[in-house]
Amino acid sequence: MPDVMSETVEKRIDKLEKQLKQLQNQRKDQLSMVIFSNNMDKILAALVIAVGAAAMDTEVKMFFTFWAVSALRDKKKKTKGKDVKSRMLGAMLPHGIGQLKLSKMNMGGLGKDMIKGIMKQKNITSPEEMLATAGELGVQIDICEMSMDLMGFKKEEMIDYPDLGYCGVATFLADAGESSIQLFIS
Amino acid sequence: MPDVMSETVEKRIDKLEKQLKQLQNQRKDQLSMVIFSNNMDKILAALVIAVGAAAMDTEVKMFFTFWAVSALRDKKKKTKGKDVKSRMLGAMLPHGIGQLKLSKMNMGGLGKDMIKGIMKQKNITSPEEMLATAGELGVQIDICEMSMDLMGFKKEEMIDYPDLGYCGVATFLADAGESSIQLFIS
Amino acid sequence: MPDVMSETVEKRIDKLEKQLKQLQNQRKDQLSMVIFSNNMDKILAALVIAVGAAAMDTEVKMFFTFWAVSALRDKKKKTKGKDVKSRMLGAMLPHGIGQLKLSKMNMGGLGKDMIKGIMKQKNITSPEEMLATAGELGVQIDICEMSMDLMGFKKEEMIDYPDLGYCGVATFLADAGESSIQLFIS
């Protein structure tokens, strides 16, 4: 019975094609990163990886959470109507990417100035420029809503960035689950 | 010779189906996390991710190693028969998730109390409650045996947790290798 | 028309086999790790994972970047012709894996000595021995070229290691994208 057999073959191939499609979607050419730290060196590393991947046409999604959210504040933007604790916390945390400290050898800013000086001298892109490049290359930045709430940050004090969004952990997990690379920068 | 041809087709489909199955098993809907740090903020982030994933029916496996193991001690449980070094190390490390410090701005506990106060005020689940929820949702916690040995911890001083196990790096690697998401929280 | 049908079947199977091959290559039995920290405890954890994976015949690639590069310096090797800033930075950073500090409880070296003493007493392999074992098991170590430049390090001051290379972020991303496990040790 060649007909029956062919039919079975067709059905098995149909199923294979469908499952293969699912597998391909589960592992997109996509990089998902959680950025947890607000240290200058770690944010720089994350941005170097993000920009490198975007330059290779990989889809890049950065999920900024906890301390890292303070790196995305715009120091020129002011907010009103915060409660006391949020104002205190806001004052203690860095106002944007230009005010971050090193995770090691910061030495009251001396170590950071030294590293920044060396980067300038050697024509290594600064974190500020790297962030702008990331935006130009289409790197998507999502800010953790729970962290915004916890830190008492408001959307109007965040930087202008081409592809800036706000989401929860479920969105990060859905993205990461189909990414070929996932990293947690703590 | 249609028969021979059909046979070849069958064989090729058999092989495809087998390989596809292997690929699917290599990338389960599973999250593997190494928890290395014992900082309150990092353990909290790990638990938020774990609980979020478990709520989406993703299998979650947390591998607690090095400093992080101290976060799983039960401060009400006492142990006997430790040598001097193990007693010293045990006394210096936090006794469970309630005694963890912040990785930044801890300020002798002031910063931690502030963050904890804000979390309470904003109805954000505490690390202690988050850990209980993780247990209810079936998040599996494995403790690194080498770290237990190094820190001089004993199983009888660890918390009561529904799905608590002890294993080595080989088990973590085997699990991580077939997980769709892997993260290292350092 | 059984012939036409068979031909279609053949073509669909051809396509399936090709796509499956691509998917398999996208997820090799391979572990990619970024090592960012130069803390003794974190480097040790990275090496335990690397050696464990290599022992299970998993291909292992470690990408040392930023602070971590200082852990690969050979303290017996001297360099000449460095500028002032590079000499200063070089003097402030650890000279190799034997001089690393703990990320926590270092206490001016006391905590580190205590941990090292316990490791010796319990026959846990030291970071130095672990690195040698990694080399023997074929673990590949790549050093980030941008970090070499930034830190002012020279190739002649790096350790002798069987499979030591220098590369940029693009190479790491290409490797990580086809690895079944990727971790960032920060």
pLDDT, position A118: 94
C13, C170, C183 member nearest A52 (Cβ): C170
pLDDT, position C2: 52
- How would you list the strands of the sheet with A179-185, edge to edge? A164-167, A140-144, A59-64, A28-35, A179-185
Average pLDDT over residues A3-31: 85
Among C173, C178, C181, the residue to mutate for chain A (most A Cβ within 10 A): C173
CA closest to C93 among chain A residues: A105
Distance from CA of C37 to the nearest CA of A (A): 9
On chain A, the residues whose CB falls within 8 A of the CB of B104 are 38, 67
User: Number of B:C CB contacts under 8 A?
Assistant: 94
A36/B42 touch (CB, cutoff 8 Å), yes or no: yes
B53/A173 touch (CB, cutoff 8 Å), yes or no: yes
In sequence order, the 6+-apart residues with CB closer than 8 A to the CB of B85 are: B152, C114, C117, C118, C121
B10-56 pLDDT tens trace: 999 999 999 888 888 888 999 999 999 999 999 999 999 999 999 99
Q: What is the ipTM of this complex?
A: 0.92
A12, A66, A174 member nearest B45 (Cβ): A66
Distance from CA of C75 to the nearest CA of B (A): 27
B13/C10 touch (CB, cutoff 8 Å), yes or no: no
Average pLDDT over residues A159-164: 97
C184/A180 touch (CB, cutoff 8 Å), yes or no: no
Q: How many residues in total does chain A contain? A: 186
Cβ atoms C127, C43 nearer than 8 A: yes
C149/A184 touch (CB, cutoff 8 Å), yes or no: no
CA closest to A29 among chain C residues: C177
Distance from CA of A29 to the nearest CA of C (A): 8
Average pLDDT over residues C17-39: 92
Cβ atoms A144, A120 nearer than 8 A: no
pLDDT, position C86: 93
pLDDT, position B1: 44
B37, B48, B118 member nearest A85 (Cβ): B118
Distance from CA of C105 to the nearest CA of A (A): 15
Share of chain B above pLDDT 70, in %: 96
pLDDT, position C6: 67
Average pLDDT over residues A127-140: 98
On chain A, the residues whose CB falls within 8 A of the CB of C149 are 122, 124
B49, B105, B185 member nearest A92 (Cβ): B105
State CA B132 to chain mean position distance: 13
Supply the mean pLDDT for chain C: 94
Q: Is the pLDDT at A34 greater than 90, yes or no?
A: yes
CA closest to C27 among chain A residues: A180
Cβ atoms B44, B60 nearer than 8 A: no
The tokens describing B64, both together, are 């607690």
Interface of B with C (CB under 8 A): 2, 5-6, 9, 12-13, 16, 19-20, 23, 26-27, 34, 36, 38, 65-67, 85-86, 88-89, 92-93, 146, 149-150, 152, 168-170, 172-174, 176-178, 182-184, 186
Q: When comparing pLDDT for B144 and B107, which is higher?
A: B144
- What does the angle CA B13 – CA B19 – CA B20 come to, to the nearest 5 degrees? 85
A181/C184 touch (CB, cutoff 8 Å), yes or no: no
Distance from CA of C162 to the nearest CA of B (A): 24
A80-116 pLDDT tens trace: 899 999 999 999 999 999 999 999 998 888 899 999 9
Cβ atoms B66, C45 nearer than 8 A: yes
Distance from CA of A19 to the nearest CA of B (A): 8
> Considering only A60-74, A141-155, B1-15, C83-97, which range has the smallest mean pLDDT?
B1-15
Average pLDDT over residues C122-150: 97
Give me the DSSP letters along B100-158. PPPSSS-GGGHHHHHHHHHHHHTTPPPHHHHHHHHHHTT-EEEEEHHHHHHHT--GGGB
Q: Is the pLDDT at C1 greater than 60, yes or no?
A: no
B86, B93, B182 member nearest C181 (Cβ): B182
> CA torsion sign, B19 to B179 to A170 to B61?
positive
Supply the mean pLDDT for chain A: 94
pLDDT, position A1: 44
Distance CA C94, CA B111 (A): 31
Cβ atoms C21, C51 nearer than 8 A: no
A16, A56, A118 member nearest C170 (Cβ): A56
C54-113 pLDDT tens trace: 999 999 999 999 999 999 999 999 898 999 999 999 999 999 999 999 999 988 888 999
User: Number of A:B CB contacts under 8 A?
Assistant: 93
Distance from CA of A89 to the nearest CA of B (A): 9
